[in-house]
Structure 1
Amino acid sequence: MFLNVNPTLFNIFCGCLTVCLIKYLFNFINRLRKLPSGPWGLPILGYLPLTKKDAYIQMTELAKKYGSVFSFKCGQFDVVVINEVKAIEEAFKNDHLLARPNTTFIPGFERASSLLEMSGELWKQHRRVALTILRNVGLGKSTLETKIKEEIGHFIDVLKSTHGKEVDFKEVIGLSVANNVSILLFGHRFEYSDPMGIEMCCNEKQVSDNVQYFSKMFMPSISFFVSLATQFSSVLRKMTNSQKEIEKKITAEVRKHKAKKATHEIEDYIDGYLQEMDKQKDSGTTGMDTATHVLSFMMLNLITYPEYQQKIRNEIRQTIGLYRQPDYADRVSMHFTMAFIYESLRISTILPLNVHRRASQDTKIMNFFIPKDTIVIFNFWAVHRDPNLWNDPHLFKPERFLSEDKQKVIKSPNLIPFSGGKRICPGATLALTELFLYLVSMLQNFQVSASEGEEISHEVKYAFLRNVEKLAKLNFHILTEN
């Protein structure tokens, strides 16, 4: 049975619908016309289903076809990918490209935004507070370096205790580097056998290994269904549970710090944070540590090219000898060692695509129009592998960071492992300190090699960060004076 509809009202409704549709199509086509060119995708979903697992490689290949700055539709968002260093440098200086997306990386997991995810004035306030607290607890100062050196002492003792037996380097270095973060945040380290320390590392690994760069966050309109799917997807369930477990443990640490707050003594980040909360309402910060991944790549390169071990060890003998523990200040005299570190950062490019940025308003980069709310991606991988910037970019060559006479290390402006501008990683100094001190401490004490019969593989795995797929089991042979 058909409903009786007033013809006049029906015609008005159809007219309004037609006008709205025409307006939508006009705005859509006008916006599309202004955006940089790029690949077409599917209706509604755009290019999202066509993105590959190794998205950074795919973005680099697309740049060869569509240009160094291109765009595509990804779910409900326009995405602009910047693959050229000059354009990225310009984008770093653009305050309209400092915002983050309003959606979460982990569908179905709702929580307060971290400093990494904040935008606008709220982010500016929290960043100022975070940097002040980090300086107060020793970031960039000798006090924190001393604590890192103490942790490295424990790490070296563990390696010495193996007496040349096989070592799972990624596991041991992961626990040690995590302790540096723990010291900074909580004011204490965990013994390597401590169940809580081990569990926190496992939880963090579970999250970082399963967060996909192009994920359901690009389809916020189906977030409800994604939330339901989360309950049944084993990967998503493990990821959200791991994130919740991390936050439970941090909450427990905060409770301990609140209990001693009356002393007003600031020993770590949480102490400073709680004190700041007395002045203004605040919320927590989180971050991902990349030092462990870089050290795994560094170790892979050391066992692949043992001649570099000897070069670094020669600098160690000439600069600090085999007995004095290294200081970060020693890097000034250790040119090849720093060149090795810079090349390791370039060749590994742990974060090949930046944490998503959002245009807070219409803007331009290199005369390319970027509309408001567009997701902007910097392809650091493309920059670090650009043959116009690097000779033989796919080869591991620390010498590229040395002057012609090999007497000076030169850090190229084209090396951008920690992002840049106002959104540069606040832990960049800490990471460089760790990389130098761990590398020098290991080669000061050991000759490192793959265990007999172990295959040296350069395969990587990628979710949000790049990491060595399977690092060979290692032997650490204690050095003698000779």
Structure 2
Amino acid sequence: MFLVNFFYGLVTLFVVNYVIKFVQRIRKLPPGPWGLLIVGYLPFLRQNSYDQMTELAAKYGPVFSFKCGQFDVVVINQWKFIKEALANEHLLGRPKGSAIPGVIEHASLIEMSGPRWKEQRRVALTTLRDVGLGKSEMEDSIRDEIKSFTEVIKSFKGKPISVSDKLSLSVSNNISKLVFGHTYAYDDPLSLTMAKILAQSNAMSFFNVVQFMPIIARLIIKLNLFNMGETSSLLKKFESHVIDEVDEHRKKDIDDNVIKDYIDGFLHEMSKRKDEKDSTFNLDTLQRNASLFYGAGSDTIASTFKWMMLYLVKYPEYQNKIRDEIKQTIGLNRQPENVDRKQMPFTMAFIHESLRHSSLVPLNIFRRATEDTKVGDYSIPKDCLVVFNFWAVHRDPNLWDNPEQFKPERFLNEDKSKAIKPPYLVAFSSGKRVCPGESFAYLQLFLYLVSFLQQFEISAEPGKDISLEKLQTFVVRKKEPPNLIFKSVD
């Protein structure tokens, strides 16, 4: 009898303690939807979670929260609060532990917090600039790559083609030159494999069970639930290719005079810090950083340009306006240069609107509150995960006139002589955690767009309509990329 009473007493104590902590936690957090025991709201989250976050904000307010698996999540939806949060030093952290437990074991610089992140970011930006980022040689290299790619398009002689995979391979070569020091042929089996792996591994949901239930992550992967076993295998194959690249670089002596790419620069930095204890400049971090740069520099830029081509076909009047602007500034024969952007406001306005309307990354990479803090009057307790809903900002009728409409003119000044990029266009985030590749992305989008419209009229297959239906994984993609026709400009 004593044991029974003791057991019931323990259970009662556990329940009371749980309820007290639950109430204390709820009182600290912004309002939001209720979930289930243990898993929280995770089972109710939809694939297109950016839409759902916007809907929940309409019900619970511009800053709301919910329990998601083992974590409390605060979602910030309105620009004035996001702007404040972006400047908040206590909201610069990343989640503790691995980004995808059981799949990714080591942190890249994008997953680091505090001094380690700042140091890795500083060295990475310095190294990438030293090996060409932002220099004329890099711009020349991109133009050469575009020239090779357009020759491939011309070889189809106006027949309908799926340009998606070929475009991904072309864009990948630009970041490959910076990270690995070389490019790939379009039929190179390794390049094709890496492109396929990137496309398949990015199919993972934004709110996925592995990230939010790390306690059972390895079991989920082992049983291949939610396709996580397959995703794990793909990511390991991808990183094995990066390891091979690193191994090839390690075979040569690295000094200041022969640093040709990011891997060279990182290895050189490693050699300078070999006596430092607990340094993040090690082979594991190099592998993760190189994978991050190659993946982000390939997939996001290519995906954005795919959306741009769809908008060109869906709204051919803009295709004609951009081509007219090209004729008036550089003509149809001279390759574009980055400085031409200043003389081509409508072209830049089209790029801005494509970034806004597609909102490729609608929800930011998770932040973590490193201390108890506030945004507006909303409390955000330490270690909460924080999400910025950039989709809601890009669709806010208080910021944009008819936000659902695709309208590049919204980015032009009154006399249409200049393209204006407002601070609430946050396609690359903003603040201290802004995407380090933003300028590189704009450069490529401009050069590819102008080069294409100098040479091709882009259209859909006869009788085929261009749908803008979206599907969110980590980024927003076209559900089924259509075949397009590239007819040479006379």
Output the TM-score relative to the length of structure 1: 0.93
CA contact (8 A) 1:290 1:350 kept: yes
CA contact (8 A) 2:76 2:387 kept: yes
Name the counterpart of 2:276.
none
1:378 to partner: Cα distance: 0.3
1:126 to partner: Cα distance: 1.1
The correspondence for 1:52, drawn from 31, 46, 57, is 46
Q: Does residue 268 of structure 1 match 2:261?
A: yes
CA contact (8 A) 1:107 1:226 kept: no
- Which amino acid letter does the alignment assign opposite residue 244 of structure 1? K
- Shift of the 16–456 alpha-carbon distance from structure 1 to 2, 3 Å rule, reads closer
CA contact (8 A) 1:312 1:337 kept: yes
Name the counterpart of 2:152.
158
Matches within 5 A, 1:48-447: 48-230=42-224, 233=225, 235-262=227-254, 264-280=257-273, 281=279, 282=281, 283-284=285-286, 285=289, 286-287=292-293, 288=296, 289-447=299-457
CA contact (8 A) 1:97 1:358 kept: yes
- How many residues align structurally? 472
Structure 2 CA distance for aligned equivalents of residues 212 and 94 of structure 1: 24
Structure 2 CA distance for aligned equivalents of residues 108 and 339 of structure 1: 43
1:143 to partner: Cα distance: 2.1
Structure 2 CA distance for aligned equivalents of residues 15 and 235 of structure 1: 42
Deviations 1:65-96 (A, max 9, x none): 11110111111211110001111111111121
- Shift of the 308–368 alpha-carbon distance from structure 1 to 2, 3 Å rule, reads same
1:107 to partner: Cα distance: 4.5
CA contact (8 A) 2:361 2:475 kept: yes
CA contact (8 A) 1:455 1:472 kept: no
**Which range moved further: 296-305 or 41-50?**
41-50
Q: 1:56 is paired with a residue of what secondary structure?
A: helix
- Shift of the 234–372 alpha-carbon distance from structure 1 to 2, 3 Å rule, reads closer
Q: 2:120 is paired with a residue of what secondary structure?
A: helix
CA contact (8 A) 1:386 1:393 kept: yes
1:241 to partner: Cα distance: 1.4
1:223 to partner: Cα distance: 2.9
**Which range moved further: 368-377 or 33-42?**
33-42
Structure 2 CA distance for aligned equivalents of residues 171 and 215 of structure 1: 29
1:61 to partner: Cα distance: 0.5
Percent sequence identity over aligned pairs? 50
Output the TM-score relative to the length of structure 2: 0.92
Structure 2 CA distance for aligned equivalents of residues 362 and 20 of structure 1: 26
CA contact (8 A) 1:108 1:226 kept: no
- Shift of the 163–110 alpha-carbon distance from structure 1 to 2, 3 Å rule, reads closer
Deviations 1:197-223 (A, max 9, x none): 111111111111234434332122323
**Which range moved further: 203-212 or 411-420?**
203-212
1:104 to partner: Cα distance: 3.8
CA contact (8 A) 2:205 2:472 kept: no
CA contact (8 A) 1:35 1:368 kept: yes
Q: 2:203 is paired with a residue of what secondary structure?
A: helix
Structure 1 CA distance for aligned equivalents of residues 12 and 118 of structure 2: 44
Q: 1:71 is paired with a residue of what secondary structure?
A: strand
Q: 2:202 is paired with a residue of what secondary structure?
A: helix
1:253 to partner: Cα distance: 0.9
1:398 to partner: Cα distance: 0.3
1:27 to partner: Cα distance: 3.3
1:478 to partner: Cα distance: 1.2
- Shift of the 211–250 alpha-carbon distance from structure 1 to 2, 3 Å rule, reads farther
- Shift of the 352–110 alpha-carbon distance from structure 1 to 2, 3 Å rule, reads closer
Q: 1:191 is paired with a residue of what secondary structure?
A: coil
1:262 to partner: Cα distance: 4.2
CA contact (8 A) 1:98 1:358 kept: yes
Aligned-residue RMSD, C-alpha:
2.0
The correspondence for 2:483, drawn from 465, 468, 473, is 473
**Which range moved further: 249-258 or 432-441?**
249-258
1:111 to partner: Cα distance: 2.1
1:445 to partner: Cα distance: 0.8
Q: 1:456 is paired with a residue of what secondary structure?
A: coil
Q: 1:471 is paired with a residue of what secondary structure?
A: coil
Deviations 1:224-278 (A, max 9, x none): 4324323xx4822221111111111111111111122346401111111111111
Deviations 1:14-47 (A, max 9, x none): 8787666545433331221121111111122111
Structure 2 CA distance for aligned equivalents of residues 248 and 56 of structure 1: 33
Structure 2 CA distance for aligned equivalents of residues 196 and 176 of structure 1: 14
**Which range moved further: 134-143 or 376-385?**
134-143
Deviations 1:283-310 (A, max 9, x none): 2211423111111110001011111111
- Unmatched tracts of structure 1, length 5 or more: none
CA contact (8 A) 1:213 1:463 kept: no
Structure 2 CA distance for aligned equivalents of residues 272 and 107 of structure 1: 29
Q: 2:233 is paired with a residue of what secondary structure?
A: helix
CA contact (8 A) 1:115 1:126 kept: yes
Q: 2:223 is paired with a residue of what secondary structure?
A: helix
Structure 1 CA distance for aligned equivalents of residues 203 and 242 of structure 2: 20
- Unmatched tracts of structure 2, length 5 or more: 274-278
Q: 2:110 is paired with a residue of what secondary structure?
A: coil
